Amino acid sequence: VGQVFSSAHFTSPGNEDSVLRFLRYPPPDTISHSAGDFRAGAHSDYGSITLLFRLKGQAGLEMLKPDNTWAPLPVCPAGTENDPSPPILVNIGDLLSYWTNGLLRSTVHRVAFPADASSVVEGESSSEPRYSIAYFCHPVGSTRLEP
């Protein structure tokens, strides 16, 4: 996988299909929503890898667990609370899952509105705007997609 991944991603300038996206979710109290609504619905990323940079204290990101329940993804997992900047979250995308023949599985995730205080990770808030930067790593268009 190493050589195939490298040759599909590290190319000459101008031959890049990856995307850097700045994301903003408005404060929940400024948007009309009901109990079943989400800031971003459940999905997996279609590329190979997504790097997500988040701000401390911002709740809302959830991951689908193997038992089909949702779990909040804390910005600062245990042991990283005092780090100067939060860890980068790495999501496996659909293409990398396909390339590894399912060895690495794509991450189904969503951004939820706050249901109640118990659904928020301690030290995080979902009442403010939510900002993040996502780098979606995609192979170049001519890359053969074979497991």
Cα–Cα distance measured from residue 126 to residue 33, given in angstroms and rounded to the nearest whole number: 14
Confidence of residue 37 (pLDDT cuts 50, 70, 90): confident
Q: What is the CATH number of domain 18-137?
A: 2.60.120.330
What is the b/e burial string over 21-55, where b = at least 16 CB atoms within 10 angstroms of the residue's CB? eeeebeebeeeeeeeeeebeeeebbebbbbebbbe
Cα angle 105, 106, 111; round to 5: 140
Q: Where are the domains of the chain?
A: 18-137
pLDDT higher at 105 or 33:
105
Instruction: Give the bridge partners for 133, in sequence order.
Output: 22, 53
Interval 93-134: pLDDT, tens: 999 999 999 999 999 999 887 665 545 566 666 677 888 999
Q: Which residue has the tokens 């053969």?
A: 144
Q: Which residues contact 112 (CB under 8 A, 6 or more apart)?
A: 38, 39, 60, 62, 70, 119, 126
Share of the chain above pLDDT 90, in %: 36
Cα–Cα distance measured from residue 29 to residue 26, given in angstroms and rounded to the nearest whole number: 8
What is the sign of the dihedral through the CA atoms of 102, 1, 77 and 137?
negative
